[in-house]
Structure 1
Amino acid sequence: MTFNFTNSQELLQVASEEKLYKKLILQLNKDLKLANLEHEFNVSITPEKLKRDLHEAIFLLINERFADYLNFLYIIDVSEEQIKSLDGSDVVKLSEAVTFLVLKREWKKVWFKNKYS
């Protein structure tokens, strides 16, 4: 299995095809709770709405609760190097790119747990 997705839609499509989409949402919810964030996604949410709502949540964290945003990235274990390589001049585009990195990291966790447990 490769993890070379080009965007969130592709990642979420693969998660659905491999019947791991619900586990991806549960993992995301678990990490949101560990980061003491009140956001929680319903397991029946569509992939498009999940991406949009997560993007919005990350956008708000960056703009209004930056310390919580950093803690969230730490809990999920998004690479600091990847975050630093992003262009921060446009917060909308930055939060969209971070959304993809978050989903990609959560996907790796779910995929490995499924494969090796």
Structure 2
Amino acid sequence: MQLPTTFEDLIATSEEQNLYHKLIKQINKDFLLANIDLDFEENILPTSLKYLLHEVVFKLINEKFAEYLNLLYIIDVSEEKIKQLDGSDSLKLSDQVTFLILQREWQKVWYRNAYS
């Protein structure tokens, strides 16, 4: 499996394979497991999804760091990928982390669809 390298590729691939709604469900499921009050509608526009997710990640990094780390653990975002990011600008960092979260959630949905 080749992971999408941009947000646009990720959304296009998920829509091509009719997995966008499952991606939203997976995001909602993992945020619920992390006790973060976030529930996206299944028909949310991709741009709105990215914006809202970015906003939540930004707030978690700046205000609730322990919850942020818990979320990354539950979603299973690669620690190595997180360590490679530049943390000097929290806005840029939160944007990059948002994409890593979406990428990992997409990976889960894709594997579940391909092997079930």
TM category (shorter chain) comes to over 0.9
Query: Root-mean-square deviation (CA), in Å?
Result: 0.7
Alignment match, 1:69: 68
Task: Report 1:78-117 matches (<5 A).
Answer: 78-117=77-116
Question: How many corresponding residue pairs?
Answer: 116
SS in structure 2 at match of 1:106: helix
Structure 2 residue runs without a partner (length 5+): none
1:2 aligns with 2:8: no
Q: Residue 9 of structure 1 contacts residue 48 of structure 1 at CA under 8 Å; is this kept in 2?
A: no
State the 4+ residue runs in structure 1 displaced beyond 2 angstroms: none
Identity %: 58
Q: C-alpha distance in 1, partners of 2:8/2:60? A: 22
TM-score (norm 1): 0.96
- 1:45 aligned counterpart, secondary structure: coil
Q: For 2:86, what is the secondary structure of its paired residue?
A: coil
Are the counterparts in 2 of residues 59 and 92 from structure 1 also a CA contact under 8 Å? Answer: yes
| Unpaired segments ≥5 residues, structure 1 | none
Contact residue 8 and residue 100 of structure 1 kept, 8 A: yes
